[in-house]
Amino acid sequence: MTEAITRTDFEFPKQKNVYHGKVRDVYNIDDQYLVMVASDRISAFDVVLPKGIPYKGQVLNQIASRFLDATADIVPNWKLATPDPMVTVGHYCKPFPVEMIIRGYLTGSSWRTYQSGAREICGVPIPEGMKEHQRFDQPIVTPTTKADEGHDEDISKEEIIKQGLVSEEDYEKLEDYTRKLFQRGTEMAAKQGLILVDTKYEFGKVGDQIFLIDEIHTPDSSRYFYADVYEDHFKKGLPQKQLSKEFVREWLMENGFQGKEGQQVPEMTDAFVESVSERYIELYEQVTGETFKRARPENILNRIEKNVNEYLASK
- How far, in Å, are 17, 208, 306 from residue 13 at the CA level? 11, 28, 12
> SS3 of 140, please?
strand
- Note whether 225 and 235 are same-domain residues: yes
Is residue 225 domain-resident?
yes
Q: Render pLDDT for 127-173 as a digit per residue (tens, 0 to 9).
A: 999 999 999 999 999 999 986 655 678 999 999 999 999 999 999 99
- Measured in degrees and rounded to the nearest 5, phi and psi for residue 141 equal -100, 120
Is residue 250 domain-resident?
no
Is residue 233 domain-resident?
yes
Is residue 261 domain-resident?
no
- Model pLDDT, residue 247: 84
- Tell me the pLDDT of the chain (315 aa) as tens digits: 688 999 999 999 999 999 998 899 999 999 999 999 999 999 988 899 999 999 999 999 999 999 999 999 999 999 999 999 999 999 999 999 999 999 999 998 899 999 999 999 999 999 999 999 999 999 999 999 986 655 678 999 999 999 999 999 999 999 999 999 999 999 999 999 999 999 999 999 999 999 999 999 998 889 999 999 999 999 999 999 888 787 898 899 999 999 898 999 999 999 999 999 998 998 899 999 999 999 988 899 999 999 999 999 998
Is residue 259 domain-resident?
no
CA distance 229 to 241: 7
Nearest partner of 78 among 203, 222, 221, judged by Cα: 203
- Note whether 236 and 275 are same-domain residues: no
- Model pLDDT, residue 156: 95
- Model pLDDT, residue 266: 94
DSSP string, 26-77: EEEETTTEEEEEE-S--EETTEE-SS--TTHHHHHHHHHHHHHHHTTTTS-B
- Model pLDDT, residue 287: 92
- Model pLDDT, residue 151: 65
The beta-strand segments (E) located in 174-252 are 194-206, 209-213, 222-226, 242-243
- Note whether 185 and 197 are same-domain residues: yes
- Model pLDDT, residue 67: 96
Is residue 174 domain-resident?
yes
- Note whether 275 and 198 are same-domain residues: no
Is residue 256 domain-resident?
no
Is residue 140 domain-resident?
yes
CA distance 286 to 150: 31
- Note whether 213 and 136 are same-domain residues: yes
Domain of 214? 96-243
